[in-house]
Structure 1
Amino acid sequence: MSATALPPIVDAATWQRQLDALRIREKAVTRELDAVAAQRRRLPMVRMPDYTLEGEEGPVRLADVFGGASQLIVYNHMWFPGETWQCGGCTGFTAQFTRLDVLAGYDARFVVVTQGPIDEALAYRRRVGNTMTWYSTANSPFGTDVGAPPGGGFAVNVFLRDGDAVYRTWHTNGRGTEQLSYTFALIDLLPYGRREEWQDSPEGWPQGPTYGGWASSQDIAALYGADA
């Protein structure tokens, strides 16, 4: 870190004026996010086939993955066959979610689905200390049909259930998943931000390779896993 990598020092009144100017933009972003959410609630939907996934207790229909709720968020976790450590980004992202019961108050559930065989997926879940409910789509076209095929990337999909009928209502991938992450929201509040080379930062600010500060799967396992 450069010795000069410090924000300018000003008096309290100057600091407050600049914070007030920034707050105008922050409030505009909040209103835009509200408008985006309103548009999302007006999206049409697509009926899904009657998929069967594999869960900890055996085969389960997609309609039953909802656990009695009418709404379902699915994180499609990347999977590499034969690898001891799976995607660090997916592992770290899903490690955040340890208090999901609050979704029950909104008639919703949030689960992980991966292309890995269920026994391997559950073993990995334990290894890294993940507390979410996991399912496998290794023997189903579900992952491919929702944008997360074998050997492909991660995704978030949202579904609505009406009786036994399941509909796909929303999908995102890449940086679209950041809105679900509290870690990026916290890091972006810091004076030095994510410290990644692509970010617009003042001259002399500490910056390194993209993903340089991300925890690896091994890091997550050391913090939360079965042997932690």
Structure 2
Amino acid sequence: MSKPKIVPQDEWFRAHKEHLKREKELTRLRDKIAAERRELPWLKIRKDYVFETEAGPKDLVDLFGKNSQLIVYHFMLGPDSNRYCEGCSFLCDHIDGANQHLRHHDVSLVVVARAPLAELLPFKTRMGWKFDMVSSFASDFNFDMQVSYTDKQIAAGETVYNFETRPITIRDLPGISVFFKDDAGNIFLTFVSRARGGEPLITTYDYLDMTPKGRNENGPYYGMIDWVRLHDEYEDIPKHGNCCH
């Protein structure tokens, strides 16, 4: 944090009023981009996908429930892994509050991972999450959404993420995929967001960005990995016995 400039009230007022112009520019630009996003072309989903859920096997269309819109968050967790992504978990900590309103506004939201459901549910319980968490273990869903990759793809460098072919050395990456279901039951992929595109869903960052120290991500990695932990693993949280550790 740079050394603060302490000024009289009238100078403070002028500086903050001037900065407000930039804040309003950002708000208007965000609204413009959101409108442009809604005009993007759609891709019809022509493949059947089956997910393992707490209510038994479900098709993609079933994940919509009674709503016509579906948001999927792709959680970085493959089969037989006990390495729970702090970044994905950080984002997921923000879902349940929003979901109280989304489900009443024609939007369903689910979190999908490749790990089998039996490996997902204990972690969900540990984190205290209420949203639906399902497994795509038995389908190509994550691979088709270009957030998971086969060993062959990784070895050949044929890995596409965030609309770019790039070398990737891990099997699973995070992302958001948005779908629409019409009255005939047809499903369309309307938007995807990858990499830092998920940050708008992490409202903790909005709070931090208003503070003098900001995100305070000053190394060694200069990102959330510098400080974010699973919410029950911060140093000041009492440790309790848990089978999922």
Query: Is the TM-score greater than 0.5?
Result: yes
Secondary structure at the residue paired with 1:140? Answer: coil
Pairwise CA distance, 1:84: 2.7
Of 71, 74, 77, the residue aligned with 2:72 is 74
Pairwise CA distance, 1:197: 2.9
For 1:146, the equivalent position in structure 2 comes to 145
Give me the identity figure in percent.
31
Q: 5+ unaligned residues in a row in structure 1: which ranges?
A: 199-206
Output one character per residue of 1:36-85: Cα deviation in whole Å (capped at 9) or x when no partner. 01101101111112211111111101001011100011100001433334
Which has the larger displacement, 168-177 or 98-107? 98-107
Length-normalised TM-score, structure 2: 0.80
Length-normalised TM-score, structure 1: 0.86
Instruction: State whether residues 95 and 131 of structure 1, in contact with CA within 8 Å, keep that contact through their aligned partners in structure 2.
Output: no
For 1:89, the equivalent position in structure 2 comes to 87
Comparing both chains, which one has the higher relative contact order based on Cα–Cα distances under 8 Å and sequence gaps of 6 or more?
1
Q: Which amino acid aligns with 2:66?
A: G
Is 1:166 matched with 2:187? yes
For 1:35, the equivalent position in structure 2 comes to 32
Distance in 1, matches of 2:201 and 2:91, equals 9
Q: Point out 4+ residue stretches in structure 1 off by more than 6 angstroms.
A: none
Secondary structure at the residue paired with 2:20? Answer: helix
Q: Which amino acid aligns with 2:185?
A: D
Distance in 1, matches of 2:82 and 2:128, equals 14
For 2:226, the equivalent position in structure 1 comes to 212
Pairwise CA distance, 1:216: 3.2
Output one character per residue of 1:158-209: Cα deviation in whole Å (capped at 9) or x when no partner. 00011321110000111111112211111111111011238xxxxxxxx984
Q: Which amino acid aligns with 2:115?
A: G
Output one character per residue of 1:87-115: Cα deviation in whole Å (capped at 9) or x when no partner. 11111110122221211332111110001
Instruction: State whether residues 87 and 217 of structure 1, in contact with CA within 8 Å, keep that contact through their aligned partners in structure 2.
Output: no
Q: Which amino acid aligns with 2:176?
A: V
Q: Which amino acid aligns with 1:103?
A: L
Distance in 1, matches of 2:51 and 2:189, equals 16
Distance in 2, matches of 1:148 and 1:218, equals 27
For 1:192, the equivalent position in structure 2 comes to 213
Number of equivalent positions: 214
